[in-house]
Amino acid sequence: MRHSLTIAGSLLLAGCQGVVPWETALEVTPVDAPERVVVVGAGLSGLTAARALSDAGIEVVVVEARDRPGGRTWTAEVGDARVDMGAAWIHGPHETHPTARLIAGMGGSWVPNEPLMDAAEMRDESGEEVGPIEQWAAAQHAKRVLSKTPKVLDALDAEDASVSEVSVFLLDEAGVEGWRRRARRFMAEEAFLHRGHGGNPAELSATAVDWQRGFPGGDALPQGGYVQLVEHLAEGLDIRYEEPALAVACDTDAVEVRTSRETHLASHAVITVPLAVLRDGAIDFEPPLPAARVQAMEGHGMAVLEKVVLVFETQSWPSDTSWVGLADAPMDKTFCFDHTEQAGAPTVICFYSGPIASDWDARTDAELVDHALAAFETELGEDAGTPVATHVTRWHQDPYTGGSVSYPRVGTGLADALLLAEPIDGRVLFAGEHTAGPYFQTTQGAIISGLREARRLGVTHFALPGLEDL
Ligand SMILES: Cc1cc2nc3c(=O)[nH]c(=O)nc-3n(C[C@H](O)[C@H](O)[C@H](O)COP(=O)(O)OP(=O)(O)OC[C@H]3O[C@@H](n4cnc5c(N)ncnc54)[C@H](O)[C@@H]3O)c2cc1C
């Protein structure tokens, strides 16, 4: 029998009470009027900024390292299925949500999809399903990690702690041991992991839970995948593909963006590459980035979230199901979701998150597919057949991403996060989910940051359908 489990879904919305007035994020002091802008990166943040600038009549060129737009939003074909390999959900598709507004504005739609809330199950170490009382207790523990953080910090005499430290403190205090302890840690820390798209709970700042903001309205999947929004934003833009930026040099008069092909001269540049790309020095800045900013970047980690996609000839499982596996080894923890309706073919997606990078790197695609299939069949309790097509993502090994999303490490607060959005010398501007302050990690964060930088460059009116009233 499958027990309904709602905690993970509600954690996704933790920290978001009521409707969030995110428009205040657009209240920035404009820089000098731009003549020509180079946007580095054609992910959602770069595309949004470029479209807003271009619609306002400002000359803009986008340089993109890959051969496609969208960055961490990428709808790909796997056999007969179409699957979002990066962002898939709109978290909280409320009428104020920027992603939802853009999708509605272009005539698109989304379908409600609460992956963890529908039906999830946990198993103890012998493979037996965990009963409702223990599931409830694990859910309560996860809630306590959220609500008791200030008390735990007082007891630890610390200003911040990791999500794992708070979880362990509370379990020690309650004297919980054995598999129950593992079950509760799994629920609290993996739920956080999921919420943070893979932020390592041993590093993830527990206080960030207080300042991260979401939107009400559950979770939903855009019809047709994120590709439609990407194509809509990219339409008509001058995007130079397979042209990675190597250096950005700025003086009082102009900015030079040197790429693998040419040097683009502009009045301003908007740098939207992911945090890990910036932090690892893939782009040389002249003059170098200020020390405080480098420190703020180092205060952030890049999370790991990977997907293994299994496409079958026929569907042999109930369609409203999600599974939660519980085991000790990090590699054995996976959430597998049925994705058949959205993908257009019998499809299961298994998510791997957390501190698994070393294991992942050492395994071939075939091994990872075998692992996902075995985990799926264990939960299913029967043979699922042989997949006819598969795909394994490797976002954290990708030189143009370096992980899934940014997350604040212990000791990194909102002020440090906001520093990542500060322009340099009024000419080099920054966008991207990692610059979105309380909206980090999400497509809405990327979009908000792109709009913010367009506004900083003097765009007062957004012509993009859905955003005209901002
Ligand atoms: C597996 C996964 C699942 C996710 N799930 C969700 C979800 O369900 N919902 C949600 O809201 N969010 C989700 N996210 C997060 C979401 O995808 C991101 O927050 C968002 O897409 C980031 O957009 P961005 O523009 O900031 O960065 P990106 O999309 O990464 O764009 C940056 C661009 O810069 C390019 N680039 C890099 N280096 C260079 C260079 N040197 N020169 C030129 N170009 C360069 C990159 O190729 C990329 O196109 C998920 C992410 C991942 C990886």
Q: What is the pLDDT of residue 138?
A: 83
Supply the residue whose CA is at minimum distance from atom 6 of ligand 1: 87
Q: What is the pLDDT of residue 380?
A: 78
8 Å CB contact between 209 and 149: yes
Q: What is the pLDDT of residue 11?
A: 36
Q: Tell how far the Cα of 39 is from the centroid of ligand 1, in angstroms.
A: 15
Q: What is the pLDDT of residue 13?
A: 35
Q: What is the pLDDT of residue 5?
A: 36
User: Token pair of 263, please?
Assistant: 């040097």
- The answer, yes or no, to whether any atom of ligand 1 lies below 6 A from the CB of 87, is yes
Separation CA 265–CA 468 (nearest Å) = 31
For residue 243, give Cα distances in angstroms to 62, 263, 272.
9, 11, 14
- The answer, yes or no, to whether any atom of ligand 1 lies below 6 A from the CB of 379, is no
Domains and CATH numbers, the chain: 7-14+132-211 (no CATH), 22-72+225-301+407-456 (3.50.50.60), 75-94+112-117+302-397 (3.90.660.10)
Of ligand 1's listed atoms, the one at least distance from the Cα of 72 is 29
DSSP string, 226-263: THHHHHHHHTT-EEE-S--EEEEEE-SS-EEEEESS-E
Q: What is the pLDDT of residue 20?
A: 62
Q: Quick check: pTM over 0.85?
A: yes
Angle of helix 178-185 relative to helix 163-174, nearest 10 degrees?
150
Q: Tell how far the Cα of 90 is from the centroid of ligand 1, in angstroms.
A: 14
Mutation test of ligand 1: which of 72, 73, 221, 308 has the most ligand atoms closer than 8 Å to its C-beta? Answer: 72
Supply the residue whose CA is at minimum distance from atom 27 of ligand 1: 43
- The answer, yes or no, to whether any atom of ligand 1 lies below 6 A from the CB of 275, is no
Separation CA 229–CA 236 (nearest Å) = 14
- The answer, yes or no, to whether any atom of ligand 1 lies below 6 A from the CB of 46, is yes
Cis geometry, peptide bond prior to residue 287 (ω within 30 degrees of 0): yes
Please list the ranges in the chain whose pLDDT falls under 70.
Answer: 1-20, 115-127, 191, 193-197, 319-333, 354-358
The pLDDT tens digits for 225-243 are 999 999 999 999 999 999 9
Integer Rg of the chain from CA: 22
Q: What is the pLDDT of residue 3?
A: 32
